[in-house]
Amino acid sequence: MRYSVVFPGQGAQEVGMGKDFRDSFVSAREVFERADAALNFPLSRIIFEGPDEELKKTEFAQPAILTMSMAVFRSLEIDEGISFQPAHVAGHSLGEYTALVASGTLSLEDGVRLVHRRGKLMQEAVPLGKGSMAAIIGLERGKVLAMCEAASSLGVCQAANFNAPGQIVISGDTEAVDKAVSLCREAGAKRALPLKVSAPFHCSLMRPVANRLRESFPDCSWNSPRWPLIANVSARTENDVSSIQDALFQQTYMPVLWADSIEYMMSQGVGRFLEIGPGTVLSGLIKRIDPQAQCFSVNASDSISGAIDFLKGGQ
């Protein structure tokens, strides 16, 4: 059965993540050292020692998650000698950049510098308190979109993440998002609750970020990916550099079509998903999208043997 490799996004970070890989695998140690050198500050110290409030800052969380995920990936690929042959690679929001580094489209150095800039721009785009996000649980897509539209008279309010059936995140101006949360509760949502985030991601308030981020693209060296990328904005395969760059530009202010992406991969014969990086959020979402999907998360060094067995099981 075919498999795809998926990488997590912001929110999966935790202090100490990847330290066991750094201590156990030469390739992982090199990834952390290269990231520190590329950024010209000790990102690995923030990852391993915190404090948590520092690691949660968007400008650090984004390169930290990419770095930890790539440390795991390289440990599998180089130290363990796994010859990856996924049908696709994909990542949730920030994770899309990790997927591009893993597939060779971007170097590790260009990847961490780009997402560090992305995080800083996102944090600076909207003053604290002006924007917010909320999770809507147990309400179908059309109703959530209708509630966002009804609340938009108070400001920007848009769907940001279509994570799984009945699990949608909305984003925008705080007053409008609060109104939409209230409307969703009245419409029968099981839960509708604000999220603890530093900025309203994946909505039109991030359009200036997209414009400035695109200015950094020429500073990077781009290559065609080794494996097809499933882009967040289209939930379809993107293979050439120009379309990938356009997808990254749009992804900044457009919704993440995660459920659609998983459904598309499964329609192409994929039934197994290897999640590489901190946490197990993506595996949980994938099982909600299709309970028949087989998932395995690699986020600690003691899960390496399980990952190897998981991959062998699909061959």
Distance CA(195)–CA(39), nearest Å, equals 29
Hunting for tokens 């990856």 — which residue is that?
84
Which residue among the candidates 27, 93, 234, 297 is catalytic per the annotation?
Answer: 93
Which residue among the candidates 198, 202, 297, 301 is catalytic per the annotation?
Answer: 202
Helix (H, G, I), strand (E, B) or coil at 5: strand
**Does the annotation count 202 as an active-site position?**
yes
DSSP H helices, 126-254, are 141-151, 174-186, 207-214, 241-251
Are 227 and 89 contacting, i.e. CB atoms less than 8 angstroms apart? yes
For the chain, the distance separating the N- and C-terminal CA atoms, rounded to the nearest angstrom, is 7
**Does the annotation count 93 as an active-site position?**
yes
Closest CA to 222 of 143, 65, 114: 114
Closest CA to 47 of 36, 37, 275: 36
Hunting for tokens 């379309």 — which residue is that?
243
| Positions marked active-site | 93, 202
